[in-house]
Structure 1
């Protein structure tokens, strides 16, 4: 192979390789349940939540999906309870949705991230239960 063909082959290989890196970097970069978002960042990561909380937030950061329409589909015991539409406005986009909870809805909650074609890009779950309510010690000697 002469020098020009080798340079061209290496350049093509570099383009293919960099394109696959870009493709691998697109999609959901981070996703988690949290109890609050401050300065566009989740304050904690929730996998279990007590019934002393009445709201959950699902936070995600996506990359390379500018212009996409995504949905956070909240399911409880397999049944869809809510869908929240989200427009992705930039190449790196942080967004979130929230769901009100009541103590009667104890069990496994799941959020599916779904695109406009119906493709599920991922699913995340947490447990909502009385078992996760912290016990607070009695104050001032009260029993």
Structure 2
């Protein structure tokens, strides 16, 4: 009887500790895009290229399975970190966006990375910011 109770206690402890370990999911991002603006909580267009006369660029995405975490959106130009914003996620599916006020001289290839609460990159997107042709 004691052995069974001990085995049951160990199994229960393993189950509870396993739930604690997996409580924070990796999460993901759906419908990610770059846009010239966000209106009524949605992107106004879907772009991968902007001219250097564009004053603001937005990264938009729906954060999935990240409730309770703080997500970071890291903007980089040619590998150099330019800005990092934090978003507190409160819903299982949460539309979210980050904006970057651009400067005409910041031409080149841009990257936005979305990092979950553990600091793992769960989305990475690129766009070009160039003079008009």
2: distance between equivalents of 1:62 and 1:101?
24
Deviation at 1:91, TM superposition (A): 1.2
The match for 1:99 is 100
Bigger Rg, structure 1 or 2 = 1
The match for 2:129 is 128
2: distance between equivalents of 1:63 and 1:42?
17
TM-score under structure 1 length normalisation: 0.71
2: distance between equivalents of 1:78 and 1:96?
21
2: distance between equivalents of 1:88 and 1:118?
14
2: distance between equivalents of 1:121 and 1:92?
15
Deviates more, 1:120-129 or 1:58-67: 58-67
* Number of residue pairs the alignment of both structures matches: 108
Contact 1:36 1:43 in 2 (8 A): yes
Contact 1:57 1:99 in 2 (8 A): yes
TM-score under structure 2 length normalisation: 0.76
Correspondence 1:36 to 2:41: no
* 1:72-95 per-position Cα deviation (integer Å, ceiling 9, x unaligned): 000001010000001111111001
Contact 1:30 1:62 in 2 (8 A): no
User: What is the CA RMSD across the aligned residues, in angstroms?
Assistant: 1.4
Contact 1:31 1:61 in 2 (8 A): yes
Contact 2:71 2:115 in 1 (8 A): yes
Correspondence 1:58 to 2:93: no
- Report the secondary structure of 1:70's partner residue: strand
